[in-house]
Structure 1
Amino acid sequence: MAWSSARFDRWGTFGKSTGAVLLCAAAALSGCSKSDNSSSSTSSSASAASASAPASAPATSASGGKTKIGFSIATLNNAFFVGLKAGVERGAKEQGFELVQTNANGDAQQQVNDAINLLSQGVTAIVLNPIDSKAIIPAVEKANSMGIPVFTLDRGSDGGKVTSFVASDNVALGQTAAKWIAEQLKKRYGSEKGNVVDLIGLVGTTAATDREKGFSDEIAKYPDIKVVARQEGAFDQEKSLNAMTSILQKFPQIDAVFGANDDNTVGAEKAIDNAGRYKPLGDKEHILVIGADGTAQALSAIRAGKQDATISQNPIRMAAQSLQFIADYNAKKNVPANYAWPTMLIDKSNIDSDEVKKYGLWSEEVKQ
């Protein structure tokens, strides 16, 4: 089933935020991220529905040992996904699961093959972090045919039945970035006006689609803010550097950049430096830069004044929650069909605050 924007309105949530800007905590938000997952386990207007294990759901592996869980991750070439892997491993340890995992290294077909192989190894549930929401459908449908529940993490599937999908609300994340830019431009100019660059994420992923939807819909509410360039940064530093280099050559006046993730922003910051257009915070020619994820590079750039803000996720805790839902499902408890993990806006004013520490600087726990 194709992902419908109507599904975004109802999500299970982590709870109330702790300071700063937390997204995804309220079901009333206009779009809850499928970050790469459109789980077809419910109708498009009923994503809040919970799933419960059938009476026959196995609690242990066929061999009578620990419950065996399969996990397929999209890539480990990005610190965020290293964080997801760490969280799945932490969650599996906490729940006493045996974990069998694969890394698709960015190859969508390889991921399907890996997932189907995991299904043949006696797993009682499978966690998927899809590279492509359409390409992963055969693996989801294969699991469905075998009666093995599918749990998607950070990204989702456009078809097949998914028991529970855990991710951040990426539509709301994009909205927050646009609002933040508008607020900063109002402080600078007295009204919401200026030239903005939008560096889109990896086209074809729901994380990129949702963040772009949230950002573009929200920024359009400010008629005097002009998006002078929209270009794919692909969640990649080198591609974002090249894209931003070209944009800087075309536009002598740029006030702000939204990077769909922090690899996009780091690439943009390098391009700004290379072009000799970096100005310190407070300077009217300073190019505002906001990204997403809360990577170590982004936090360092914020402290150095090269990046203004990041909307941080917490992949470690988010992934561990997915494993908790597997345990709940095995215990025949209801689990949410869609669960939105909160995000937090981090800038120089709060980066060392107790609120941010409580939320968790996940990138300080991950060694890539």
Structure 2
Amino acid sequence: MPSNTSRRSVLNGAAAAGVVGLAGCLNLGSGGGSDAENETALSVPSLELTFFARMQNAFNNLTEERDDLGGSFYDAGNSQAQQVSDLETPISQGVDFIMVAPITAEGISPVVQQANDADIPVVTIDRNISEGDIATYVASDNVALGRRSMELCYGFMTDLSDQDEYNVVELQGTQGASVTNERAEGAGEAIDSTDDLTLLDSQTGDFSTEEAVSVMEDFITSYGDDIDGVYAHNDLMALGAHQAINNAGVDDIAITGIDGSEAWVQEVQNVDHYGTLAQLPEEMVSQGVDFGLQAVDGEDLDDYYQIEGLEVTSENAGGYLDDYF
């Protein structure tokens, strides 16, 4: 890898031009031009998802607290084209490494290739890519999270009533995202291992509360009292399902999500048949930085580093909120 000083000197002019046209960067930080020993960038799909807002806070705290690290944060606004454009900027600036949670598994492949050609390590966090070389991938085991969340939902359903058959609907995330595929896979494993659990329907809510309300309303119209539980790929959609169920005046439907967002856990602490599998985005960012720096130094890394998920129910929701919010 060329030295940091050499790469920054050659690309200094391109950096200035790239910043002028930047639309998606919320915090330019040092932008490759600070006195920090190492420069990085973090790109996330959308700050409309509180999970990624927590990543932003963790990233900003790290770059402020560490004298050896400068960085820029980019919010893609859930636009694939914007995320590609955002990532081209730090590459042109000659940052030392890049961290990214890609919107879809395929969408940033061209810009990852640009980083590879520039000898800039790429660390994927939370979501992975399908093509291109990365230094490592830091994330929860999303297959396991999906399986555990569906199992938790099933447990709530059996607690609520004794039946011969239980029916669940699934609110999927953004289509094409690795995390969506993996959480659906895990849920399928849980359903296949349970003789009395049936998947009534599965539709995308695009990780959005508003979209989930609409989809859940359609589920209620189509299936009504046949619905015993809702498994959502994230907490924002679990919250949307809760709102639709409340609006319809329906009782005793179990709901589980994934992420551990504050708004959903506040609901969880008051309802025994609500829950989630909490991820720790702060830990993903912290480890992503550590592994990125190791990649810059030429150290060998494993392909994947797992961040454990935490089951949150009404029994421990208050303590979880105290610890993380």
Deviation at 1:302, TM superposition (A): 1.1
Q: Verify: 1:136 aligned to 2:102, yes or no.
A: no
Q: Verify: 1:259 aligned to 2:232, yes or no.
A: yes
Identity of aligned residues (%): 26
Identify which of 55, 64, 73 aligns with 1:84: 55
Q: Verify: 1:300 aligned to 2:300, yes or no.
A: no
Q: Give per-residue Cα distances to partners, 1:142-190, cap 9 Å, x unaligned.
A: 0001111111111121111000111111100011012223333344455
Moved more, 192-201 or 234-243: 192-201
Deviation at 1:329, TM superposition (A): 2.6
User: What is the match of residue 65 of structure 1?
Assistant: 35
Q: Give per-residue Cα distances to partners, 1:296-344, cap 9 Å, x unaligned.
A: 1111111232861011111112111101112223344333321111110
Q: Read off the aligned partner of 2:299 and give its amino acid letter.
A: K
Secondary structure of 1:230 counterpart: strand
Deviation at 1:227, TM superposition (A): 1.2
Coordinate RMSD, CA, aligned = 2.3
Moved more, 293-302 or 221-230: 221-230
Any residues of structure 2 matched to 1:269-288 within 5 Å, and which?
Answer: 269-278=242-251, 286-288=252-254
Q: Distance in 2 between matches of 1:344 and 1:59?
A: 42
Q: Verify: 1:156 aligned to 2:138, yes or no.
A: no
Deviation at 1:132, TM superposition (A): 1.7
Q: Distance in 2 between matches of 1:61 and 1:71?
A: 19
User: What is the match of residue 219 of structure 1?
Assistant: 191
Q: Distance in 2 between matches of 1:180 and 1:350?
A: 14
User: What is the match of residue 47 of structure 1?
Assistant: none
Deviation at 1:347, TM superposition (A): 0.5
- Residues 194, 224 of structure 1: 8 Å contact kept: yes
Q: Verify: 1:103 aligned to 2:69, yes or no.
A: no
Which structure's relative contact order is higher, taking Cα pairs within 8 Å and 6+ residues apart?
1
- Residues 239, 267 of structure 1: 8 Å contact kept: yes
User: What is the match of residue 18 of structure 1?
Assistant: none
Q: Read off the aligned partner of 2:136 and give its amino acid letter.
A: S
User: What is the match of residue 209 of structure 2?
Assistant: 237
Q: Read off the aligned partner of 1:350 and give its amino acid letter.
A: N
Q: Distance in 2 between matches of 1:208 and 1:74?
A: 14
Q: Distance in 2 between matches of 1:89 and 1:160?
A: 27
Count of residues in correspondence between the two structures: 298
Any residues of structure 2 matched to 1:1-368 within 5 Å, and which?
Answer: 58=4, 62=8, 65-66=35-36, 67-95=38-66, 96-190=68-162, 193-251=165-223, 252-278=225-251, 286-305=252-271, 308-353=274-319, 356=320, 360-361=323-324, 364=325
Change (3 A) 1:259 1:229: same
- Residues 270, 314 of structure 2: 8 Å contact kept: no
Gaps of 5+ in 1: 1-53, 279-285
User: What is the match of residue 6 of structure 1?
Assistant: none
Deviation at 1:346, TM superposition (A): 0.4
Q: Give per-residue Cα distances to partners, 1:256-291, cap 9 Å, x unaligned.
A: 11011011111101110111113xxxxxxx111111
Secondary structure of 2:102 counterpart: coil
Moved more, 172-181 or 186-195: 186-195
TM-score by length of 2: 0.85
- Structure 1 ranges of 4+ moved more than 6 A: none
User: What is the match of residue 282 of structure 1?
Assistant: none
- Residues 126, 149 of structure 1: 8 Å contact kept: yes
TM-score by length of 1: 0.75
Secondary structure of 2:180 counterpart: helix
Change (3 A) 1:100 1:192: farther
Moved more, 307-316 or 236-245: 307-316
- Residues 186, 193 of structure 1: 8 Å contact kept: no
Change (3 A) 1:189 1:299: closer
- Residues 61, 124 of structure 1: 8 Å contact kept: no
Moved more, 56-65 or 322-331: 56-65
